[in-house]
Every structure is written in C-alpha cells, then in structure tokens.
Amino acid sequence: MRTTQLGPLEVTVVGLGCNNFGGRVDGAGTRAVVDAALDAGVTFFDTADIYGRQGGSETILGNVLQGRRDQVVLASKFGKPMGDGAERRGSAKYIRHAIAASLERLQTDRIDLYQHHEEDPDTPLAETIGTLEELVAEGKILAYGTSNYAPATLESAKKLAGPAYVSEQSEYSWLERGAEAELMPTCERLGLGFIPYFPLGSGLLTGKVR
C-alpha cells in the first residue's frame, strides 16, 4: 500500500473510517473489518470520540487493537457535542478532559493524529491551538489537525501553530466537490494534508447501488 507523509506521520493513502464501529458494526464485525484492512495493507485508522454512540467506536477499536496498536497510525477527534451539555469544546479544559477519556477508551498512551472536529466560535483559536501544542510537547499526541474548518480559519490556525499542525479533514467525493473551490487550494498553499471523509459517498460510489 502506497504511503504519504502527514508531518511526522507516515500514513497509507487509503485510510479506514471507523465511524460505524460501536453503532452499525459490533465488536465481532469491527474485528473482521480491522483484520481485513490490515491484511490489505491499510494502517491509517480514523475515529472520533462521538462515533459509535459517544465513545463506542474508540472503546471497541481499543479492544480490537490490543497487541497490535503499533501496527497502525491512530487518529481521533474531539469537539462535537457528546450529550453532556459541555460548552466551549475548543477550550483547554475541555480538550484535556477529552484526550484523557479517548486515551482510556483506546487503551493507548498516545493518539498519533488528534483533530478538532469542528470550529468553536466561543473559544479563542489561540487557546485551542496552544493546548494542542502542549499535548504534543507532553507526548500525548504526535500531531494534530482540524476538521470542518473554513479556509479563513485554517489561515489563522496555521499562523498560531507549529509544525505539528498537519491536516484538515472535510467532506469530499465525486458527489460533494465543494472543497475543490477554496478549501483544498488553501491546504496545499499552507502545506496541510487534506483528508477526505465520505470519499465513497457513504457507499453510493462503491458500485453496490445500481
């Protein structure tokens, strides 16, 4: 499987989206999918704290990856509502709570790529980026990214960030090509990797739908 660099991370160009683990896909199904991905050479796994009914994906993935955690580049996200009423989901306090919970669910001492799942207009961007930089320095994450950020916010984030800020993740497929207009060119100019989510249109582009 061909690989590419996201900052310090060498990732496979095909990644495994883990949003259905703990929801549509149970523990046994998750193990089968993970086994098939690894057999195919796919080692970039992307999850989030909200996936699988709020923590379910991370919990199942942590169990399935026991004994082979170091075979994968593990990405997760924070910052979408978790049903706990928390606000300012880009604040230092929230991020530190979120990373501790994700590390416990994933049964690991680090997350390779930690991504802010959406912009938080109630928290200064400098606080969000500054906290992520601290987590890098502490070894709890190796790199970080953003998700669903506007191009202008990427510009501001890049000015605040160090080299550990490596990527933006947004929707992109043959069905949803809005990222081509401004978002992807901005990522290229800033030196950020672009990670598409729903690249197969949630299955519509796999050929199974006729």
For the segment 15-38, what is each residue's pLDDT rounded down to a tens digit? 999 999 999 999 999 999 999 999
Residue stretches of the chain with pLDDT short of 50: none
Q: Which of 162, 163, 158 is closest to 189 using CA atoms?
A: 158
- Name the 3-class secondary structure at 87: coil
Look up the pTM and report it. 0.95
CB 1 within 8 A of CB 40: yes
Q: How far is CA 105 from CA 59, 91, 124, 150, in A?
A: 5, 21, 28, 30
Rounded Cα distance, 177 and 154, in Å: 19
Active site residues: 51
**Token reading at 114:** 């930690």
pLDDT attached to residue 143:
98
pLDDT attached to residue 173:
96
Rounded Cα distance, 131 and 44, in Å: 24
pLDDT attached to residue 85:
86
Burial of 33 (0-12, 13-18, 19+ CB in 10 A): middle
Task: Show Cβ contacts of residue 85 under 8 Å, excluding neighbours closer than 6 positions.
Answer: none
pLDDT attached to residue 18:
96
Q: Which residues of 48-87 are buried (b: 16+ CB within 10 A; e: fewer)?
A: bbbbbebbbbbbbbbebbeeeeeebbbbbbbbbebeeeee
Polymer length in residues for the chain: 210
Burial of 199 (0-12, 13-18, 19+ CB in 10 A): middle
Q: Which residues of 132-151 are buried (b: 16+ CB within 10 A; e: fewer)?
A: bbebbeeebbbbbbbbbbeb
pLDDT attached to residue 201:
86
pLDDT attached to residue 131:
98
pLDDT attached to residue 209:
82
